[in-house]
Structure 1
Amino acid sequence: MNGHGSNWQGKTALITGGVTGIGLGIARAFAAQGMDLVLTYRNQAHRDEAAAWFVANGYAAPRFARLDVTDRAGWAALAAEVGPVHVLVNNAGVSVFGPTDEASHDDYDWIMGVNFGGIANALVAMLPGMKAHGQGGHVVNVASMAAFCAGPQAGIYTASKFAVRGLSESLRYNLAPYGIGVSLMCPGLTRTNAWGSALKRPEGFAGSGFAPVDRAELEAFGQAFELGMDPLEVGEKTLRGISENRFLILTHPDHREDFEEIHAELMAALPDEPIPPGRAEIERLRREANRAAAAGSRIGISDLT
């Protein structure tokens, strides 16, 4: 299935946080292609609303699984229960803001635990089965444009998305020999309720270093999300990206100026001086190894020197 084309009929997709927002947008796009859906959720009302939408629109009812993505035992049970999975979409996350210099251990542990740890838990639980069934497949790790663009109010969130980006870039080389593609999907502003994450902080992480949540201020911030892209459009672009086996799926054209600035800053920071032949050879071998890995070869440490 690596380089899948468009034959998704009957393939099973597991989407975390699949009953609202971007997760539901992806689920809707997948359902239109005849995919068998497994959607994880936390909120029963959101699960019921999503179930009603699929019934009302004539689609087969998805399978729903209540899951906290930080719960490793829950992941193990889900992996045993759900059967073969062809597409794994790691979408669940929290969007929390506050000045990084004031953050507490609880702030780090909660945000990183969900946004990065939740994906790690999914991979540990689901990849053995995806590799074993031998039919190939695809992993989509949903990050954010924060995987490229940092700012003063979202340091831990940004760190989590940078981490997902780095993990995904390496993982694609590991999974290529199994016919399993990997995509890093980075949406920009989307019409979702992600802005309300700070209102759902678990009691176990109550010791925040950030100022207490001002609900009125947060709701005013949430109005910006109403200007965002329709989640279904994000879902359709995600489906197109994995059908083309693209590693990087950027759904919004809004960030060209940012990328141009980042590129210019990187190039300007490189010293303009000769590279010793020995070092140049090591980097050449690294690049060759990466190209071979992307083509399906298994790479060991000995291939790098």
Structure 2
Amino acid sequence: MKIIIIENELYLAQSIASKLGENGFETEIYSSIKEAMQSNGDVYLLSTNLPGQNCSPLITQFKDKIVILMVSYINNDTVGEPLKLGAKDYIVKPFMIEELMRKIEHYQEYQDLKKQTLLYQEYMENLLQEIKTDFDIEKLSTPLVIQTNYQRLVDKVVFEYAQTNSKLLTFIPLGNKEWKEKLTKCNSNTLLYITEIHTLKKTDREYLLETLKNYNFILCSTAELETEFKTITLNTDSKLYDQNEILTIDDYVKFIVNSFQYKFPDTELSKKLGISRKSLWEKRKKYGLFKKK
């Protein structure tokens, strides 16, 4: 990790750099805002007491990095406005290097978690993008049980609902042996997404449904489930079937055409199915699977 130190008091800057170097950090020292703006660091330790220099451009340019202000006193100019511009935190001079390192490590962990969350979000969006649903997210209210013939369809609805309503989502697959412990650790502000209820024995199922009275949740069930909670049914004709389910030829062709007709032209789609374009057209007519223009 490279740390850029912007400080006009050379002795102080060198002292900070030396102590950070002893702890495995790479450092560069600048006394000029203009020169520091050409640097490429992970963390910027910025003194707000640089005579005749404006810190705002540097903070704005590196607001996606970790900018920590080094201040001699706290007021709107040294702390308030810089934080509004994108600085992450401040530390008052003189300070202990351990305190500074705790701040750096804290914000580095935050940045890593933010990147990881974005990665998972992009992955889920890519994974679910082929799933089509006309369900109106705005009409969804929780707690709720959703009965479906295809769990990934409910996955899409739940993730869209959580994102649209800025809900913190906790996933609890009941096939995991530690689901009870995970459930009891959840707080009331979390929206639970619960799946695989078919794996539970009757006593565990009764325990779950009784416990859920204290939580906000969406429970996905691939079988009929009698509960006192509001229940809706959400099915699809283009579900991905279980690997151990044997499909009829017609069901298989219907699924492939419905799922991939916008990915491949008819010539290529019919070739992959091992049928002629005329046969593909006949099957489209039979199943009512004509492309929307």
Which one has a bigger Cα radius of gyration?
Answer: 2
Q: Which structure shows the higher helix fraction?
A: 1
The structure where strand makes up a greater share of residues is 2
Q: Higher relative contact order at CA 8 Å, sep ≥6: structure 1 or structure 2?
A: 1
| Range into which the TM-score falls when normalised by the shorter chain | under 0.3
TM-score, with structure 2 as normaliser: 0.27
